[in-house]
Amino acid sequence: MRVLVDVNKFTTDSVKALYEKHGAALAAYGCCCGLDSGSAEDVVQQVFLKLLQGNVGVVQAPLAYLYRAVRNASINQRRDRRREAEIPEGEQWFTHATADRAEVLSLQNALRELPEEQRETVFLRVWSGMTLQEIAEATETPLNTVASRYRYALEKLRERLRERSGRQG
């Protein structure tokens, strides 16, 4: 079942609530798409402001729309800035209560190396809390495909993280 949402019906409060809940994950997703954290935050702000201004018409599944919008905007911004200085390698866009910096950077790099669709699925599942069924509906993808993407993504992440921890250990 697909839910169509008229974004003109979004109130400032509902958009703010959506931002508070998913803004950080979306910014991290922007970083995964190749932006520095400042630019990723700007991109997320712009996407939400568009939503607030009602400039995006009717969307299917707002969360999936937000991820797609952030990805597209990040790619555009990255392309526009391709001649500028590269992003600093050690920037952290995740935090962890006990893990050290190297472990955080390992995860970030592993996420960056994932194919786009797998990365999107991982973010929607892990950091936006959607079920695989919801992701399938939101992205208009068969459930089996989404489940496969997620499984492959976890395998690759496990492999990369293991490689890195083996190298460090």
Q: In whole angstroms, what is the distance from residue 51 CA to residue 27 CA?
A: 16
Query: Does 93 contact other proteins by CB under 8 A?
Result: yes
Q: To the nearest whole angstrom, how small is the minimum distance from the Cβ of residue 137 to other proteins?
A: 20
Is residue 28 a contact residue for other proteins (CB under 8 A)?
A: yes
Nearer to other proteins, 3 or 168 (CB): 168
DSSP state of 9: G
DSSP strand pairing (4-6 vs 58-60)? antiparallel
Nearer to other proteins, 60 or 92 (CB): 92
3-class DSSP state of 148: helix
Report the alpha-carbon distance of residue 150 to residue 159 in Å, rounded. Answer: 14
Closest CA to 4 of 63, 59, 70: 59
The minimum distance between CB 167 and other proteins, in angstroms, equals 13
Residues that bind other proteins (CB under 8 A): 12, 15-16, 19-20, 23-25, 27-28, 37, 41, 44-45, 48-49, 52-53, 92-97, 99, 104, 107, 122, 125-127, 151, 154, 157-158, 161-162, 165
